[in-house]
Copies of this chain bind each other. A is one copy, B any other.
Amino acid sequence: MWIAKKRLQRTIRYGMLKSMTRDPAATRSRILDAAEKLVMARGFGGTSLDAILADAGATKGAFFHHFDGKAALGKALAERFAAADAAQLEELEREAERLASDPLEQVLAMVGLVEEEMSSLEEPFPGCLVASYVYQADLFEPGTLEIGRRMLARWRDALARRLRHAAELHPPRQPIDAESLASGFTAILEGAFVLSKVHGDPRLIAEQLGHYHAYLELLFGVDG
Q: Chain A: residues with CB nearer than 8 A to chain B?
A: 40-47, 127-128, 130-132, 134-139, 145, 148-149, 152-153, 173-174, 177, 180-181, 183-184, 186-192, 194-195, 197-199, 204, 207-208, 210-211, 214-215, 218-219, 224
Given contacts A42-B139, A47-B45, A174-B214, contact A186 B191 (CB under 8 A): yes
Q: Is the CB of A136 within 8 A of B43?
A: yes
Closest 10 CB pairs of A and B: A45-B46, A191-B191, A187-B191, A43-B136, A190-B191, A218-B218, A43-B43, A41-B138, A134-B197, A132-B135
Which of B41, B135, B137, B207 has a CB less than 8 Å from the CB of A131?
B135
Given contacts A43-B44, A137-B41, A173-B224, contact A187 B195 (CB under 8 A): yes
Q: Is the interface of A mostly helix, strand, loop or mixed?
A: helix
Q: Which residue of B lies closest to A215 (CB)?
A: B215
Q: Is the CB of A149 within 8 A of B199?
A: yes
Chain B proximity of A99: nearest CB distance (Å): 23
A208 to B197 Cα, complex, angstroms: 21
Which of B131, B187, B207 has a CB less than 8 Å from the CB of A188?
B187
Q: Which residue of B lies closest to A201 (CB)?
A: B183
7 contacts between A and B (CB under 8 A): A41-B136, A42-B45, A43-B44, A173-B218, A183-B208, A186-B195, A187-B188
Q: Which residue of B lies closest to A131 (CB)?
A: B194
Q: Is the CB of A152 within 8 A of B43?
A: no
Which of B41, B139, B145, B215 has a CB less than 8 Å from the CB of A218?
B215
Q: Is the CB of A180 within 8 A of B131?
A: no
Contacts of A134 in B (CB 8 A): 127, 194, 197-198
Contacts of A42 in B (CB 8 A): 45, 136-139
A191 to B184 Cα, complex, angstroms: 9
